[in-house]
A = this chain, B = another copy of it.
């Protein structure tokens, strides 16, 4: 199949598919005489793999690594694969922790604000951000 068809079947934009090729994530199976890219069902499977990997947070570089492990399954161990996954898991957890701290801190100062129509002259949110003497959310982290 040609690139437009692959795009339709996978939901990836044509430009994105060409970009993935440049990044080494998906090579066309061949080219027609006129230079058109040709793909097959393997391409489809690979793109599903890429989609799944993206959905759990892997970057394109990491997916590239995973794809190598995938095609060379025999030469690689489960631990290699699991290491990559656990590393990513840790990154995601760290990000969640960081965002949770932000949320907690922001919640505290937002909740304290009346939110009414009166002028913000003594608005607790502005005051809290103004107050450089202590870290916002210090109590929570």
Which chain A residues have a beta carbon within 8 Å of chain B's beta carbons? 44-45, 48-49, 51-53, 55-57, 66, 69-70, 73-83, 85-86, 88-89, 92-93, 95-96, 99-100, 102-103, 105-107, 109-110, 113-121, 123, 125-126, 128-132, 135-137
Asked whether, in the complex, the Cβ of A116 is within 8 Å of the Cβ of B78, the reply is yes
* A106 nearest CB neighbor, chain B only: B56
Q: Supply 16 further A-B pairs (C-beta < 8 A) apart from A77-B118, A81-B123.
A: A45-B130, A52-B129, A52-B135, A56-B102, A56-B129, A57-B102, A70-B130, A77-B116, A77-B120, A78-B117, A78-B120, A78-B125, A81-B125, A85-B110, A93-B103, A96-B100
Top 6 nearest A-B pairs (CB, nearest first) are: A48-B132, A82-B115, A85-B110, A56-B106, A57-B102, A52-B129
Residues of B close to A102: CB separation below 8 A: 55-57, 92
Number of copies: 2
Tell me the nearest residue of chain B to A10, going by C-beta: B132
Kindly state the separation between the CA atoms of A125 and B89 in the bound complex, as whole angstroms: 13
Is the CB–CB distance between B66 and A129 below 8 Å? yes
